[in-house]
Structure 1
Amino acid sequence: MAMDSWSKLSFHHKIFVGLVGYSLLMVACLAAFQYNRERQFKADKLNAQLQLLNDRIIDDISECDTVFEPVLNELGAFDGLRVSIISLDGRLVYDSMLDSMPGADHRGRKEVSDAIREGIGFDTRRHSKSTGQTYFYSAKKGKGYIVRTAMPYSVSLDEFLSADYTFLWVIAGITVAMCFIGFFATRGMGENVARLSEFAERAERGERVYDTAAFPDDELGVISSHIVRLYARLQQALADRDREHRLVMEEEQEKIRIKRRLTNNINHELKTPVAAMQVCLETLMAHPDMAQSKKDEFLGRCYGASCRLNRLLADVSQLTRMEDGGDSIVRENVCIGEIVAEVCDEFKPVAAEKGVEIVCSLGYDAYVKGNATLLASIFRNLIDNALAYSGCSRIDIRQEPADGGYITISVADDGCGVASEHLPRLFERFYRIDKGRSRQAGGTGLGLAIVKNAVLFHGGKITVRNRKPSGLCFTFSLELTID
């Protein structure tokens, strides 16, 4: 409830209440300090007077040697003063107010213990059980004994030891005057802050605030006008920053997701050739007397698995290099026609064995700013895929019409094509339509992923579609070098 009431107060009232509370706290601390200081001063003054009497008693006792009573009786009759002689072992030897000496140990009394330890001691207020009165005690150590004088509390002694409250009234008057001054000073500040708070609320709701006339012509008003002018620009800057941050975070999350899936896929793909090699080697080790023909068969399988593993690692390395190290890949002006011609010559012997004709109609006038190795990998993977899986009899590579600044190339075959539901996923890493057939052909599942990344690396884009009546056609564009 108190917190709710405090939160409902205006800034003016909060700062005024805080100022008053701080002032009262300072006054209370000062009053307590002065009160204790003055009481201590008066207690020290009374103790000094009693110590003079203690000195006189000690001197008189020294002169009279063992004759105590005449001197002590004379002082004890002085204005109700109580005089006691206490031995160092705490026994009460003499007391001017008592006829018989109690056997209690007085070393536990504050003034006695201080006198034994430090030579003098006093206690400002303690009730005596033996006399039934309250005394101010002062003690001093003599030769083998303690002299203690005690002044009984009375109205005059209470007045003497009490603090003077005049200074408190002066401080209270000054505090009241400061509170009045503080009230009017904080009221002006509170009004200014209230206007600024209203502006902040309107700005938080997204309202357009242009009116600066409501603010005073002072430092606060200048600050407020700056806030108004900067508000619109700040909103736009925050929106731009949030949008850029969101895009960056989405991009980073997508990269992490792709890398995680790639890692899992690589782990899965590595198991197959490694397991095949392990089985072959374990079989050879378990049967050393195996026929040479069988040994050659197992060694051939092991070699094939190692070749596939090598191709897989090479493809993964190439993908990683394109994705993470694009800036480190060398770019230069290369003739796209020459690259395609070299790749076609490389595959012609294999194509001839399978009865496939590779036809290239690209000229030698198109140049691309790129990496020759990556560009060659585009055509190498597309031709290799067609030879391995399509069952085609012809592969056509030709230039398609394109917008200025780009060259569009298509690589098409007349093979079996691909079911339409598989087309959107052909460029995914390790995606296979017929997994068994793909592995038997020695594929790594990364060829088309490398093709897509290489095209994107060169600023182009790639699509795939089925041909009529049969076959598959890959079409991609590359950015030309502009002289």
Structure 2
Amino acid sequence: MASKRRFSYRLRLFIPMLGMMLAIIGVLIVFQYRRESDYRKSMLERDLKFICQRIIDAYQRGTNLRPFVNFINEYYEGSLYDDISVNVYSSDGKLMYHAGLPVLQDFTEVSRPSEEAFNAIKRSATYREQIGDMNYLVRTELSKDGKIFVYTAMPYTLSIGEALSIGSDIWIMLAVITVAAIIGCIFSTRLLTRSVNLLRDFANRAGNSEKLYDADKFPHDELGDVSRQIVKLYHDRTEAVKRSEKEHRIALHAVEEKARLKRDLTNNINHELKTPVGVIRGYLDTIISNPDMDAATRERFMKRTWENVERLCLLLNDVSTMTRLEDGAGNVPVTQVDFHDLVFTIENDLTISGLAGNMTFHYNLPLDCTVKGNSHLLSGMVSNLIKNAALHSHGTEMGLKLVVESEKYYTFSFYDNGTGVEPQHLPHLFERFYRIDAGRARKTGGTGLGLPIVKNTIEALGGTISVHNRSGGGLEFLFTLEKWRGGEA
């Protein structure tokens, strides 16, 4: 179906505005024409009245009217009033003096003017009258004593018509006003529709995904304010959609990354379990298939089997800890923990547990060092750092100290004086089952989950951790723990 022809908003505004302006101008033209015509006619009537009154005044002063009437006739000769007829009658209608044509001898003749002219004796009046084939503008004036009256008649000749007509200058002025009104309407509608045109252009650009201009281009009026608000809402909505899409991508990436990590963890666990399980199975198969094995060899095989069972138990415990930390990172129960007492207890147990191996452990913590945490997780975190240093640092000393205290956090340093690691390995130390020397790590009994557990513990408690090589040798772990503030649950 063919769409209806649309008229632009500017045209819809221009046509009524122009029509209203032309209507106003038309009314002004009619009013001015009538006013000018009436004014010119009144000027003519005023002059006729002036002539009549001068004659009446001369009569009342006793002046001889003959020379005065002749003077009037000569005075107006060659002027607009060249064809004027001036007649002075007595009260009985007899012609006393005259100048110009036609000459009406008296009102008793058959050819006298109409009854309207005759009745004018009783009053002073101005009216139109047709005498013969000519129209006249007539003015009659009666003297105060009623003995004479003056009858003046001005024929409607071409010159009189031109005098009564409106001059061309007024039509030129009205034409200029009309053109100015049209131009004014054009510019007014252009200004009024600027916001609409800009908003339409903005919508087209937005629909075509083109570059959008700034909202400051809109005029500073009510329509411009509305347009700027619409543009602002569009930009806000676009930004919200972009943020939503970005958050969706991040969330999707996080889900995919979590799924990948779980797959990697499963694969790594499967790989790590195969080694101790394989060793245990090998030793047990050998013992079962050789019942006559000597006691020393059997005991050595059983000891190796027990060591791998112990390693398997450690691995399963670490996997369980990692799973709890990842699944309940935001739900870890926290209490007030005296970090000094916790480290003091671990240090006292090192001799019995042998966790530090051949290395010595030192700590330097203030007595009032209370943190917001979980004593079981923090104990496991410190123990894993000590165990990692004992197994892999090749040093003789390790330590834990407070390095920075802020309003909200404690920053601790765990360090050793070992050999450190190559810089390319530093970013991967907290990855699951990452080993710099896989063969040696398994021989030392590491599960590959110690440092990942440390990192997950710190992050689950709202802290951060980083690692770097010390300038004097060895590794340094810097981690933060949140202070315990009174009133926290």
Could you state the TM-score of these two structures normalised by the residue count of structure 1?
A: 0.54
| Counterpart for residue 384 of structure 1 | 387
Give the alignment partner of residue 466 of structure 2, picking from 463, 466, 473.
463
In the aligned structure 2, how far is the partner of 1:457 from the partner of 1:478? Answer: 10
- Does structure 1 conserve the Cα–Cα contact (< 8 Å) formed by 2:464 and 2:479? yes
Give the alignment partner of residue 324 of structure 2, picking from 314, 321, 324.
321
After superposition, residues 430-445 of structure 1 pair within 5 angstroms as 430-445=433-448
CA RMSD in angstroms, aligned pairs only: 3.2
SS in 1 for 2:272: helix
Aligned: 1:330 with 2:323? no
Letter in 2 for 1:397: L
In the aligned structure 2, how far is the partner of 1:319 from the partner of 1:352? Answer: 20
| Counterpart for residue 482 of structure 1 | 485
How far the C-alpha of 1:273 sits from its partner, in A, is 0.7
- Does structure 2 conserve the Cα–Cα contact (< 8 Å) formed by 1:412 and 1:473? yes
Give the alignment partner of residue 447 of structure 1, picking from 446, 450, 453.
450
Letter in 2 for 1:370: G
In the aligned structure 1, how far is the partner of 2:377 from the partner of 2:3? Answer: 69
Aligned: 1:304 with 2:334? no
- Does structure 1 conserve the Cα–Cα contact (< 8 Å) formed by 2:458 and 2:465? yes
SS in 2 for 1:326: coil
How far the C-alpha of 1:461 sits from its partner, in A, is 1.5
| Counterpart for residue 343 of structure 2 | 340
In the aligned structure 1, how far is the partner of 2:355 from the partner of 2:320? Answer: 31
| Counterpart for residue 370 of structure 2 | 367
* Range that drifts further, 224-233 or 450-459: 224-233
* Range that drifts further, 424-433 or 327-336: 327-336
After superposition, residues 12-411 of structure 1 pair within 5 angstroms as 12=4, 200-204=203-207, 205=210, 207=212, 230-349=233-352, 354-411=357-414
SS in 2 for 1:463: strand
SS in 2 for 1:364: coil
Letter in 2 for 1:325: G
How far the C-alpha of 1:319 sits from its partner, in A, is 0.9
- Does structure 2 conserve the Cα–Cα contact (< 8 Å) formed by 1:351 and 1:387? no
Deviations 1:306-359 (A, max 9, x none): 111111111111111111122442111111111111111221345599543211
* Range that drifts further, 201-210 or 468-477: 201-210
SS in 1 for 2:276: helix
Give the alignment partner of residue 475 of structure 2, picking from 455, 472, 477.
472
**CA gap 1:10/1:296 in 2 versus in 1, 3 angstroms:** farther
Letter in 2 for 1:394: E
How far the C-alpha of 1:286 sits from its partner, in A, is 1.1
In the aligned structure 2, how far is the partner of 1:394 from the partner of 1:429? Answer: 26
Instruction: Give the unaligned 5+ runs of structure 1.
Output: 1-8, 14-194, 214-223
SS in 2 for 1:476: strand
- Does structure 1 conserve the Cα–Cα contact (< 8 Å) formed by 2:359 and 2:398? yes
How far the C-alpha of 1:282 sits from its partner, in A, is 1.1
In the aligned structure 1, how far is the partner of 2:421 from the partner of 2:264? Answer: 24
In the aligned structure 1, how far is the partner of 2:265 from the partner of 2:303? Answer: 29
| Counterpart for residue 418 of structure 2 | 415
Count of matched residue pairs: 288
- Does structure 1 conserve the Cα–Cα contact (< 8 Å) formed by 2:356 and 2:387? no
Letter in 1 for 2:204: E
- Does structure 2 conserve the Cα–Cα contact (< 8 Å) formed by 1:397 and 1:410? yes
SS in 1 for 2:407: coil
In the aligned structure 2, how far is the partner of 1:202 from the partner of 1:420? Answer: 52
* Range that drifts further, 467-476 or 300-309: 467-476
Larger Rg: 2
How far the C-alpha of 1:293 sits from its partner, in A, is 1.9
How far the C-alpha of 1:376 sits from its partner, in A, is 1.1
- Does structure 2 conserve the Cα–Cα contact (< 8 Å) formed by 1:351 and 1:357? no
Letter in 2 for 1:331: V
- Does structure 1 conserve the Cα–Cα contact (< 8 Å) formed by 2:432 and 2:452? yes
Deviations 1:81-129 (A, max 9, x none): xxxxxxxxxxxxxxxxxxxxxxxxxxxxxxxxxxxxxxxxxxxxxxxxx
SS in 1 for 2:413: strand
Could you state the TM-score of these two structures normalised by the residue count of structure 2?
A: 0.53
**CA gap 1:450/1:444 in 2 versus in 1, 3 angstroms:** same
Deviations 1:10-53 (A, max 9, x none): 6449xxxxxxxxxxxxxxxxxxxxxxxxxxxxxxxxxxxxxxxx
